[in-house]
Amino acid sequence: MELTTPTLATLFEQLGLDSDQGSIDAFVSKHSLPDDVKLIDAPFWTPQQARFLKEELRVDAEWAPVVDELNELLHPQK
């Protein structure tokens, strides 16, 4: 069995989203979040996507670092 470290691209695949770099960049550009909106509460997730993200963070699973990376990308520093 091959074990791979999750990446932003594989997270997007897991979420059912296009995972090439251009699609990731476009998603991040389109879905910027204000500071007071948590990643898991973003209105653009399906219930299944939000549940997956929340659970991965809650249990600090192997996906958690990549979910954190996505969170940082969607909450741009001013």
Q: Which tens digits make up the pLDDT trace of 17-55?
A: 999 999 999 999 999 999 999 999 999 999 999 999 999
Domains and CATH numbers, the chain: 8-74 (1.10.10.1130)
Contact between 69 and 63 (Cβ < 8 Å): no
Residues 6+ apart with CB under 8 A from 68: 57
Whole-structure pTM value: 0.89
Looking at this protein, which amino acid is placed at residue 46? T
